[in-house]
Amino acid sequence: MHADADVAVIGAGVVGIATAWALARRGQRVLLLERAAGPGLGTSFANGAQLSYAYTDAMASPALWKQLPAMLSGRDAAFRVRPSLAPHFLGWGLAFLRNATTARYRRNTLATLELALESKAAMDALLARHPIDFQHRVAGKLHVYYDADAQPKARTMIEAKRPFGVRQEWLSPEQAIAMEPALVGARGMAGAVYSPDEEAGDPWRFCTGLLEVLQAEYGVQARFGFDLRDARREGAHWRLHDANGDSVSAARLAVCAGIDSHALLRGMGIASPLMAVKGYSFTAPCGANPPAASITDTARKLVFCRLGERIRVAGLADLNHWDPQPDPARLAHLVAMAAESLPDAADYSLIESHWAGLRPVTPQSSPILRLAGDGLALNIGHGMLGWTLAMGSGERVARLLLEPSRPT
Ligand SMILES: Cc1cc2nc3c(=O)[nH]c(=O)nc-3n(C[C@H](O)[C@H](O)[C@H](O)COP(=O)(O)OP(=O)(O)OC[C@H]3O[C@@H](n4cnc5c(N)ncnc54)[C@H](O)[C@@H]3O)c2cc1C
């Protein structure tokens, strides 16, 4: 029997769409299966829009030990932790803490950096062939620090990344303001790391734009409203059943279902170390002094990104929060922190849209890209950087599925 497709890709977020591209351009018949009504409506929808190819620093770092009491007690308003005695929470939490050593932080950051640089190369190659309009630009980025101790640690990471060809430099407050005049509003700034090559772009527009190309020019089939409930190997094929009793078959399967991969894979008997870390964003018209570059406020843990005539602000990290519904109090908090950080960046009285999404985070802060069965690949756990890492992850997973004996 012939399968309906060579490869079924589950999930049409940035990771699934990028994976569909990597497979389709290699001549595979791809079937994209998505529960929602369209592409890019999950965690990829209104994220911080950063293509953060240079700043791949892992979440678990030695600084975590100092920050932990404030995070657990709620004194650090950017974080919330919902403690639990569930084995998954405890196991994930311990693994996360084990990664907060100097050596592992460095190793995890550099492993993600390699994938980010592959992603940049893959994105450049895609856009050279198919110029997709997603408000993409080389925006440059400033990570603003308020802690006088930050400089030596930041310089260590700048030096660690230099051999990879990453351009970053430490700027004094005066230099930072000269580079990005909107930072005049950043009161108490101790300095900033400037990454001139960082990019930005709207992830939802990317998903819709690339899907159009895939359908028109590469014969990719997409089925929306397909909520995969059961996947079984039947001979040489995967048989995939959705919630309505519909079913399709494919020779191979790539799971790119974001945070929902955890429950989906559990149903298939596969454990995955994913934790939901909920974040928020809002989009508003530019204010009196909007930044041209992207800006990360490292104290308040939020990012500002210019998308055309609008500013997108994203932040907050609510760990072990699995419900994607926005909490109005947390959203109000994000707006208040942004207005405190850069009062004139956006018109905070005219917020046009707001949103919450669940980051699928691993203890290492790097994604899980591996084979997990006969013709089954996982492309999950992209955490804080899924938009950045999607293109490189798609390439690696396509190679894993099609050339399993070749090292990625
Ligand atoms: C506030 C916030 C800001 C962020 N900012 C950035 C940033 O600036 N830069 C960056 O690189 N990253 C950022 N991220 C992270 C990034 O958004 C995620 O890592 C990325 O979107 C994950 O993509 P994904 O395709 O894996 O997941 P998703 O976008 O969630 O896609 C998974 C898809 O699978 C579908 N699905 C799930 N289960 C099933 C099923 N059973 N059957 C069929 N379909 C299913 C879902 O409907 C969904 O559409 C941010 C995240 C948040 C929350």
- Out of 47, 303, 385, mutate this one to test ligand 1's pocket (max ligand atoms within 8 Å of CB): namely 47
Our answer on whether the CB atom of 44 is closer than 6 Å to any ligand 1 atom is: yes
User: Whole-structure pTM over 0.85, yes or no?
Assistant: yes
The answer to whether residues 26 and 398 touch, using CB atoms and an 8 Å cutoff, is yes
- Predicted confidence at residue 9, as pLDDT, reads 98
Q: Tokens 């090292």 belong to which residue? A: 407
How far away, in angstroms, is 258 Cα from ligand 1 center? 5
- Predicted confidence at residue 86, as pLDDT, reads 97
338-371 pLDDT, tens digit each: 999 999 999 999 999 999 999 999 999 999 999 9
DSSP state of 116: H
With 0-12 / 13-18 / 19 or more C-beta atoms within 10 angstroms meaning exposed / middle / buried, residue 391 is buried
- Out of 9, 208, 359, mutate this one to test ligand 1's pocket (max ligand atoms within 8 Å of CB): namely 359
Our answer on whether the CB atom of 388 is closer than 6 Å to any ligand 1 atom is: yes
Our answer on whether the CB atom of 34 is closer than 6 Å to any ligand 1 atom is: yes
276-311 pLDDT, tens digit each: 999 999 999 999 999 999 999 999 999 999 999 999
How far away, in angstroms, is 247 Cα from ligand 1 center? 24
Q: Tokens 């640690």 belong to which residue? A: 153
- Predicted confidence at residue 2, as pLDDT, reads 80
- Closest CA relative to residue 357, chosen from 203, 143, 208, 243: 203
How far away, in angstroms, is 394 Cα from ligand 1 center? 14
Spell out a b/e string for 226-259, using b for 16 or more CB atoms within 10 Å of the CB, else e: bebeebeeeeebbebbbeeeeebbbbbbbbbbbb
Q: Which helix (H) or strand (E) holds 70?
A: helix 63-73
The answer to whether residues 262 and 75 touch, using CB atoms and an 8 Å cutoff, is no
Compute and round to an integer the Cα radius of gyration of the chain. Answer: 21
Return the residue whose CA atom lies nearest to atom 9 of ligand 1.
Answer: 50
- Predicted confidence at residue 407, as pLDDT, reads 62
Displacement of CA 135 from its chain's centroid (Å): 18
Return the residue whose CA atom lies nearest to atom 18 of ligand 1.
Answer: 386
List, in order, residues 6 or more apart from 235 with CB less than 8 Å away: 1
List, in order, residues 6 or more apart from 393 with CB less than 8 Å away: 15, 18, 19, 115, 119, 367, 369, 379, 382
How far away, in angstroms, is 289 Cα from ligand 1 center? 31
pLDDT tens for the chain, residues 1 to 408: 688 999 999 999 999 999 999 999 999 999 999 999 999 999 999 999 999 999 999 999 998 998 888 888 888 889 999 999 999 999 999 999 999 999 999 999 999 999 999 999 999 999 999 999 999 999 999 999 999 889 998 999 899 999 999 999 999 999 999 999 999 989 999 999 999 999 999 999 999 999 999 999 999 999 999 999 999 999 999 999 999 999 999 999 999 999 999 999 999 999 999 999 999 999 999 999 999 999 999 999 999 999 999 999 999 999 999 999 999 999 999 999 999 999 999 999 999 999 999 999 999 999 999 999 999 999 999 999 999 999 999 999 999 999 877 766
How many CA atoms lie less than 13 Å away from 292 in the CB half-sphere? Answer: 9
- Predicted confidence at residue 1, as pLDDT, reads 62
Our answer on whether the CB atom of 11 is closer than 6 Å to any ligand 1 atom is: yes
Our answer on whether the CB atom of 264 is closer than 6 Å to any ligand 1 atom is: yes
- Predicted confidence at residue 311, as pLDDT, reads 98
